[in-house]
Amino acid sequence: MQSTTSKFDILEKAYDASHFRELGHQVIDLLADHLEKAHSNSDYPVLSYQNPKDELAYWEQDFSSESGILDVFKNILEHSIHVHHPRYIGHQVAVPALVSTLAGLMSDMLSNGTGVYEMGMAANAIEKIVTDFVAKKIGYKTKTSGFLTSGGTLANLTALLAARKAKAPSAIWENGHQEKLAVIVSEEAHYCIDRAARILGFGSEGIIKVPVDKEFKINIDLLEEALDNAKSNGLHVIAVIGCACSTATGSYDDLDRLANFAEQHNLWFHVDGAHGGAVVFSERYKHLTKGIDRADSVVIDFHKMLMTPALNTGLIFKKEEDAYQTFAQKAQYLWDSQHTKEWYNSGKRTFECTKLMMSIKVYAILKTHGEKIFERNVDRLYGLTEVFSKMIRKRPNFKLALEPESNIVNFRYINVRGNNLNKVNNEIRQSLVASGKFYIVQTTIGEDKYLRTTIMNPLTKEEDLMALLDEIECIAETIVR
């Protein structure tokens, strides 16, 4: 049995500043070396793929070994995907600006939960500055309010709660809803909208999915019919949701016409701009979200195209009061009154009480690089996508699913005999991932499998994209042969 003294020594070491300083320097050096390799060496793998069984066995062995913590950090690095690699062209995850990762270190060490002002003075004040800044970029002119939360799923759920509060019976928080509620959304909407509606008790019937047009945008011409059918089935529609942009295809719904529809029928208008809402920072591309300033609520992920580590999402309300009426419960040990509008007690407005200091990560980027950094990033990623699309169109072995509006490109290899297109494209993707040379994903549109890239890294170059197509053709020839 350990003595009391030895136990105390272990605790002291866990908080020893000199040990922290020494280890911290070593970890920063490790990460900086990794970045230099990822940026300059195309042979450095994007991912050293292992199957799940082998990966679990590796870490089970490590857990029972005598490996030191620096070795553990090295091994985590080697066994993780490298989003800073220019040939990471896969999921919609930000390539974090390096200063934001240092802000994350500060957040983790300070461990200030921001639900209550005293526990997060700086973070709550900075959060208001950041969300007011976003509201201005959206184009809101009235007194707005917003907050940060852990991801688009939670943000969209909170927005629909606000919609329910605004458009359903006022006593719903206490008594539950006695009528069947529903929302109207594109069939291409992110799955979290479906999930949020089910969590709210709307059921499958309460998620009215409107078909898309040939450009994968919600078909505006079918909205009236969808609403009439819902009413005939005894549903009370409370909201219509616009995608900016859709996850699978990157298509932007016509937000202006959706706003017209919402106003005409007294519906809450919500915009899920988790990925593509970032274009509000870009003079060149903000036209894609024309009408977003008419939305009652908007979601934008900082951890997608705004260079911030996950998870970090802004939910902005056009009217300040809507941000405070979503939740109405007593918590006497936290604050005196639930009904006062206190931006500095964020727990009144979010699911999260002990919330990370998310705002300081965004603030650190803005203070270090200025607000133009977000515009430059969006312009770079969308501009690279236009170049990549031209490359694909010039090669007869490839076909685009549609002309991309965002930095999401769906395409596939087509020089295949018979009906093996889906099989061949699936094998191409598997081979790419196994090689470690590139990381891309795939999606299904209709019955067809497509290779799917999302250009997220501003350090990706045209030659990386050219090399990707060359590699795919080489793999495909081997598979077909």
Partnered with residue 159 across adjacent β-strands are: none
State yes or no: pLDDT of 174 exceeds 90.
no
What is the spatial distance between Cα 480 and Cα 429, in angstroms, rounded to a whole number? 14
Taking the domain 15-47+82-96+372-481, which CATH number applies?
3.90.1150.10
Partnered with residue 207 across adjacent β-strands are: 183
| Environment class of 7 (CB within 10 Å of its CB; exposed 0-12, middle 13-18, buried 19+) | exposed
CATH topology assigned to domain 112-370: Aspartate Aminotransferase; domain 2 (3.40.640)
Q: What is the pLDDT of residues 1-55, one digit of tens each?
A: 445 555 668 888 899 999 999 999 999 999 999 999 999 877 899 999 999 999 9
State yes or no: pLDDT of 126 exceeds 70.
yes
pTM above 0.85, yes or no: yes
pLDDT given at position 406: 96
DSSP assigned state of 251: P
Question: To which residue do tokens 């919402």 refer?
Answer: 262
Q: What is the pLDDT of residues 328-382, one digit of tens each?
A: 544 443 445 555 566 666 666 677 778 889 999 999 999 999 999 999 999 999 9
- Cis before 245? omega within 30: yes
If phi over 0 gives left and psi between -120 and 50 gives alpha, with beta otherwise, what is residue 405?
alpha
**Contact by Cβ (8 Å): 474, 113:** no
**Contact by Cβ (8 Å): 46, 85:** yes
Q: What is the largest CA-CA distance in the chain?
A: 76
**Contact by Cβ (8 Å): 443, 364:** no
Higher pLDDT: 10 or 74? It is: 74
Q: Which amino acid is at 51?
A: N
Length of the chain: 481
Compute the average pLDDT of residues 217-244.
96
pLDDT given at position 4: 53
Higher pLDDT: 247 or 292? It is: 292
Looking at every residue in the chain, the average pLDDT score rounds to: 91
Q: What is the pLDDT of residues 296-338, one digit of tens each?
A: 999 999 999 999 999 999 999 999 888 777 665 444 434 455 5
**Contact by Cβ (8 Å): 421, 414:** yes
pLDDT given at position 329: 41
CA–CA distances in Å: residue 230 to residues 157, 206, 373: 21, 9, 44
Compute the average pLDDT of residues 248-274.
96
What is the spatial distance between Cα 155 and Cα 351, in angstroms, rounded to a whole number? 9
Tokens of 297: 């609520």
Q: For 84, what's the count of Cα atoms within 13 Å in the CB-facing half-sphere?
A: 20
Q: What SS3 class is residue 444?
A: strand
Q: How confident is the model at residue 426 (pLDDT cuts 50, 70, 90)?
A: very high
Angle at 348 between CA 345 and CA 353, to 5 degrees: 75
pLDDT given at position 446: 86
Q: In the β-sheet with 448-454, what is the strand arrangement from edge to edge?
A: 398-400, 408-413, 448-454, 441-445
State yes or no: pLDDT of 70 exceeds 80.
yes
Sorted by where each begins, the domain ranges of the chain are 15-47+82-96+372-481, 112-370
Higher pLDDT: 449 or 191? It is: 449
Q: What is the pLDDT of residues 96-114, one digit of tens each?
A: 999 999 999 999 999 998 7
Beta strands in 175-267, from DSSP E residues, in sequence order: 180-186, 207-210, 235-243
β-bridge pairing 313-317 and 297-301: antiparallel
State yes or no: pLDDT of 80 exceeds 80.
yes
**Contact by Cβ (8 Å): 283, 378:** no
- Cis before 30? omega within 30: no
Buried b / exposed e over 73-92, threshold 16 CB at 10 Å, is ebeeeeeebbbbbbbbbbeb
What is the spatial distance between Cα 471 and Cα 341, in angstroms, rounded to a whole number? 57
pLDDT given at position 331: 41
Lowest model confidence (mean pLDDT) among 50-64, 176-190, 448-462: 176-190
Tokens of 8: 């105390």
pLDDT given at position 332: 42
Q: How many helices (H) does the chain have, and how many strands (E)?
A: 17, 11
Q: At what angle do helices 191-199 and 152-167 cross, to 10 degrees?
A: 50
**Contact by Cβ (8 Å): 139, 279:** no
What is the spatial distance between Cα 102 and Cα 49, in angstroms, rounded to a whole number? 28
